[in-house]
Structure 1
Amino acid sequence: MQDAFASRLRGRESLVGAWCTVGHPVVAEVLAAEPVDFVVLDGEHSENDLGDLADCVRAVDAANHRAREREGADATQTATVVRASGPDRAEIKRLLDLGPDGVLVPQVESLADAEAAAQASQYPPEGVRGVAGGRAADYGRTLGDYYERANDDVATFVQVETTGALDDADAIADLDGVDALFVGPADLSARLGAFAEFDDAAFADAVADVVAAAHGADEPIAVGTLATSTANAPERKHDWGMDYVVGGVDVAHLREGLGGYLDALDGGAD
């Protein structure tokens, strides 16, 4: 399943994800049981610690196991992508030892930061990821096999949400070990002085530059973003030229779902 996700991402398939900020495994399991290609487990803008993220990785695996029990070997499997808090080598190592299918690295300010993230995500000789028998290697039982295939099987996403990363986007997209770019719309618009003004010309030009960098790399890579509503999802997918889109955030789904009931009941009272 890991190899399938990384291969699909590198092939720039049209993928759809879901975003999980609530660190309870029930939330991750419910999201993963829907027909999404991957779930992003957030270790940056959330209250989640390493243990919370580990539980949520296990919860996604549980949803996949249930799907196989119901539907057999051809059941749709949902990948896990864990977002780090930044391009920190030690943190990325610990997250990857949990056994996710990918890592998303935010707060990249430069080519040097992106290179550090890519290096931290890969075992030697390609990178500097530390080797240990964690959950990813079945607690040491399959360490040799995991070591041999991890650099190919685990995907590394780099967020482009700062002016520094934007300036270096072409070079970042060409880095060995970077499999995809991710446009962080809130931070990027804020850094450009146009927070949440997604029709702003400078923001639109920046998004177009990131897409061009990804697709114009020596070996073109995928680029994606977050859709914050069903209304803007088609625009961000098609007009922005994205290969993959994350369809909303768990807390927003809760808020909007309850809001719909409140609106319906208020209308009924009238």
Structure 2
Amino acid sequence: MNEKLRSKFAADETAFGLWVTSEAAAVTEVAGLLGIDWICIDMEHGYLDFRDIQGHLAAARGTDLTVLVRPPSQDLEPIKRALDVGAHGVILPLVDTADEVRAAYQHFYYPPIGRRGIGGERSVKWGLDLQSYVANANDELLFVPMIETQRAYDNLDEILAAEKIEAVFLGPGDMSASRGAVGEWEGPGVADLNLDILRRARDRGIRTGIVARDTPDAQNRVKQGFGMVSLGSDIGLMIRQIRSMATELGKETVGHRWF
């Protein structure tokens, strides 16, 4: 698990990803065929469930694509079940403190780090690979806390100092909202704050991820040194492409634009 992604980390290269919000497993299949480094299946927002996650994981089989899940909360059930169906790690939302990181570790890791229970589900190939998976999961799984509130920023050094943190992911929209700029992607001061998080994480050898809003933004994030850059979401990219083509064509149908 996560071998290609970690090799990008080790080489100080940017790993490009995709945010998955659709249940269509073909999205993940195509991402793997295109050589995307990682995807994040989003359960925090939208309607995806564990059956959908299993479909995406099956589509990724045979590739070196890292499949991460953003659970809807920091609770036991969504973290445990995402891992049991075979996720390669989690991107944990709304982490405010190092104590929250350590509490989530209890659900994420097997003993002695945590207290994740041992089951016979898809992650262990229905029990056929249980010994190998259990022996290696604590080292192979990837735990990525999201830094997306002012409180998280205030506690950043303690969060970054938590054991086994290899990467953090930024949420500029929620960070902006927590600072009073609701509905803005990078509200006043957030762009500089993001770069400060990036710098402080790099000083500890920790990679930082962010979602790019378009191609120039992705290019800029690479230049800034972000280790994980999402090219966007599946539906968002479709909208972006349709909007771009429709604009260039000046296309209208029955008096309404396509976007």
The separation in 2 between residues aligned to 1:94 and 1:197, in whole angstroms, is 31
Q: What SS does the corresponding residue of 1:228 show, helix, strand or coil?
A: coil
1:7 is matched with 6
Q: Is the 8 A contact 1:136 1:146 kept in 2?
A: yes
Q: Which residue is equivalent to 1:198?
A: 186
CA distance in 2, matches of 1:257, 1:180: 30
- Aligned match for 1:227, one of 182, 191, 212: 212
Q: Trace 1:76-225 onto structure 2 (pairs within 5 A).
A: 77-195=64-182, 196=184, 198=186, 200=188, 202-217=189-204, 220-225=205-210
Aligned-partner Cα distance in 2 for 1:182–1:129? 23
CA distance in 1, matches of 2:158, 2:88: 24
Q: Report the alpha carbon displacement of residue 264 of structure 1 after superposing the two structures with TM.
A: 3.5
Of the structure 1 ranges 256-265 and 130-139, higher mean CA displacement relative to structure 2 is found in 256-265
**1:252-263 alignment runs, 5 A limit:** 252-263=236-247
Deviation at 1:38, TM superposition (A): 0.8
Q: 2:5·2:38 contact (CA, 8 Å) conserved in 1? A: no
Q: CA contact under 8 A between 1:3 and 1:152: conserved in structure 2?
A: no
* Secondary structure of the corresponding residue to residue 41 of structure 2: strand
Question: Does the aligned pair in 2 maintain the 1:189–1:198 contact within 8 Å?
Answer: yes
1:236 maps onto 2:221 in alignment: yes
- Inter-partner Cα distance in structure 2 for 1:6 and 1:132: 26
Distance 1:190 1:248 in 2: 20
Q: CA deviation at 1:135?
A: 0.6
Partners of 2:222 and 2:180 in 1: how far apart?
24
Question: In structure 1, what is the equivalent of residue 54 of structure 2?
Answer: 54
2-side partners of 1:258 and 1:197: how far apart? 22
* One-letter amino acid of the counterpart of residue 138, structure 1: K
Secondary structure, counterpart of 1:147 in structure 2: helix
Give the 4+ runs in structure 1 shifted more than 3 A. none
Write out per-residue CA displacement over residues 231-259 of structure 1, whole angstroms, 9 at most, x where no aligned residue: 211223323x3122111111111112222
Is the contact made by 2:18 and 2:36 (CA closer than 8 Å) also made in structure 1?
Answer: yes
Letter matched to residue 53 of structure 1 = I
Report the CA distance between 1:260 and its aligned residue: 2.8
Moved more, 3-12 or 136-145: 3-12
Counterparts of 1:197 and 1:100, CA distance in 2:
28
Q: Are residue 40 (structure 1) and residue 40 (structure 2) matched?
A: yes
Letter in 2 for 1:166: Y
Q: Distance in 2 between matches of 1:199 and 1:44?
A: 22
Q: What letter matches 2:186 in structure 1?
A: F
Q: Is the 8 A contact 1:226 1:248 kept in 2?
A: yes
User: Structure 2: which amino acid aligns with 1:223?
Assistant: T
Residues 34, 3 of structure 1: CA spacing in aligned structure 2 closer, same or farther, 3 A cutoff? Answer: closer
Q: 2:89, 2:141 within 8 Å by CA — same for their partners in 1?
A: yes
Q: Secondary structure at the match of 1:53?
A: helix
Q: Is the 8 A contact 1:118 1:177 kept in 2?
A: no
The Cα offsets for residues 183-204 of structure 1, whole Å up to 9 and x where unpaired, read as: 111111111223425373x213
In the alignment, the residues of structure 1 paired with residue 235 and residue 175 of structure 2 have an alpha-carbon distance, to the nearest angstrom, of 22
SS in 2 for 1:19: strand
Unmatched 5+ residue regions in structure 2? 253-259
Q: Distance in 2 between matches of 1:126 and 1:6?
A: 23
Letter aligned with residue 60 of structure 1: A
